[in-house]
Amino acid sequence: MKIYFLTFFLLLGIHTINAQIEEATEQNALYTHPKFYENFLNFSSGKSSTTRMDAFVQVPYTTVQFVKNDTGYTGNFSLTISVFADDKSKLITEKSWTDKLFVKSFDETTSKKNFSLNLKSFFLTPGKYLIRTSYDDNESKAEYPIEIHYDVRSVSGSIAVSDIMILSKRSEEEGKNKIVPNVSGNVATLQTGLPIFYEIYSDKSGSVNINYEIIDKKNKVIYKEEQPKNIDSGKTQIFYTLRDSSFSLGFYKLKISIKDLGDDKIVSIERPFYSQWIGVPTSIVDLDNAIDQLVYIASTKQMDYIKDGKTRDEKMKRYIAFWKSESPTPNSDDNPVFDEYYRRINYANEHFSHYLIGWKTDRGMVFILLGPPDNVERHPFNIDSKPYEVWEYYNLNVSLTFVDQTGFGDYRLITPLTGDLYRFRR
């Protein structure tokens, strides 16, 4: 049966005294859509007592509240980076500034390709810190803070290496390199390898061997290459492109190990990154699995068409085109239906898994299709019956019963789910 969408989202989440309601909210999802991206990198300050920490903050235009005027659209926001002692007992240093934006068209304000990039440098004693970055939109008065614990490491010694900067763009102007960092760490759109920049610091010139490894989330090395390099005394800047950029969706880390051939000393550094297509929820790390999970919302013909793509890129394009066709805002990269569907799948996997993963269970199926129930009655210890649950959907005027047939959480739906109930409700 082909599943179709309702126009309006049913707000299901009314609390009752009977039981806690299953809710698929952004707070319990495995992913979020950040209001801004930040990246902190350690470089040598030229002094052994301090490290230069470069703070990059990238604010997507989609975050900014633009205001229309006679000539276009203006945006105005403030950023503050506060560096505290690790236990937040003391403010070490702080920098605040304002960024003003102007664009001519409304489409520019909503494009996910547009962003404001900011850089501030801090000179800090190596150690552990708590860093709070606050984005304040001066039009909407909204504030979005992020706090992280960060290790400012020493970048000094006979041989040392800075942190790794992944690059979005690199060009040369008047003999000088001009680079744009990839602050988010998303490399899905890279087509010609993985471009990076870092610095090697040495108290002498000579030859080193540099090993590059890409490691997946299972700690398996999926790519490796080696490069001999002559380095100078002092600082050597390295621009390098790893040849392989055919990453599947998911999370990775790049490890660089530098072996000083003179005294066999090895220094290494790691940088996490990920591959995720624009408009695709970040919880999706396996394309084939994500296609299988369309079973509750797509027809067999639609799923077969996506699976029949001859390459990974062709499958991905067909997959995204399917979700574009179901979007309430097809001209925008934002698709709340897409996000909500996989948010519910994540919740089902977290809460309903037993022998089967949660999204394949009966409770998972109902939760994904209908959303959180208005009320849940749980009967886990009845003497005269097997454990069972009753889910009530007031707006649908329906009550669904699940019975734990084995006593090990294997709840099966015994109420028929037919006709109109086979619809994904936003």
Q: What is the pLDDT of residues 140-191, one digit of tens each?
A: 999 999 999 999 999 998 899 999 999 998 877 776 778 899 999 988 777 6
Q: How far apart are CA 207 and CA 159, in angstroms?
A: 12
Both tokens of residue 69? Answer: 């005027």
Residue 110 sits in a domain of what CATH number? 2.60.40.150
- In percent, the amount of the chain with pLDDT more than 90 equals 61
Q: How far apart are CA 306 and CA 312, in angstroms?
A: 10
For the ranges 83-87, 367-371, 417-421, the lowest mean pLDDT is seen at 417-421
315 found inside a domain? yes
Single residue among 237, 257, 275 that ends a domain in this structure: 275
172 with 218, same domain: the answer is yes
Residue 181 sits in a domain of what CATH number? 2.70.50.60
Rounded to 5 degrees, φ, ψ at 75 are -130, 155
Please state, in angstroms and as integers, the Cα–Cα distance from residue 164 to each residue in 54, 187, 208, 211, 272, following that order. 12, 14, 18, 14, 9
122 with 166, same domain: the answer is no
341 with 228, same domain: the answer is no
Higher pLDDT, 232 or 170: 232
7 found inside a domain? no
Provide CB contacts within 8 A for 407, sequence distance 6+. 386, 387
Give me the DSSP letters along 52-75.
EEEEEEEEEGGGS--EE-SSSEEE
Give the pLDDT confidence score for residue 330 in this predicted structure.
76
Single residue among 132, 154, 176 that ends a domain in this structure: 154
299 with 245, same domain: the answer is no
106 with 118, same domain: the answer is yes
- In percent, the amount of the chain with pLDDT more than 70 equals 89
49 found inside a domain? yes
Give the pLDDT confidence score for residue 22 in this predicted structure.
53
Give the pLDDT confidence score for residue 27 in this predicted structure.
38
3-state secondary structure 301-332: HHHHHHHCCCCHHHHHHHHHHHHHHCCCCCCC
Q: How far apart are CA 422 and CA 212, in angstroms?
A: 50
12 found inside a domain? no
147 with 171, same domain: the answer is no
Q: Sign of the C-alpha dihedral, residues 402, 406, 408, 410?
A: negative
Closest CA relative to residue 345, chosen from 295, 386, 293 = 293
307 found inside a domain? yes
116 with 222, same domain: the answer is no
Range of the domain at 400: 26-30+281-421
251 with 185, same domain: the answer is yes
Maximum pairwise Cα distance, the chain: 84
Residue 308, Cα to own-chain centre: how many angstroms?
28
For the ranges 3-7, 19-23, 181-185, 271-275, the lowest mean pLDDT is seen at 3-7
- How many domains does the structure of the chain reveal? 3
114 with 45, same domain: the answer is yes
Instruction: Write the DSSP symbol of residue 40.
Output: E
- What average pLDDT does the segment 357-385 reach? 91
The helix (H) or strand (E) run that includes residue 90 is none
Give the pLDDT confidence score for residue 16 in this predicted structure.
33
301 with 368, same domain: the answer is yes
First to last CA, the chain: 19
203 found inside a domain? yes
163 found inside a domain? yes
Rounded to 5 degrees, φ, ψ at 365 are -60, -50
* pLDDT band with cut points at 50, 70 and 90 for residue 291: very high
Q: How far apart are CA 181 and CA 196, in angstroms?
A: 9
Single residue among 125, 154, 183 that ends a domain in this structure: 154
Q: Which amino acid is at 240?
A: Y
146 with 237, same domain: the answer is no
110 with 195, same domain: the answer is no
Map residue 143 onto helix, strand or coil. strand
pLDDT score of 426 more than 70: no
Partner residues linked to 84 by β-bridges: 91, 130
Residues 46-65: tens digit of each pLDDT? 999 999 999 999 999 989 99
Give the pLDDT confidence score for residue 244 in this predicted structure.
67
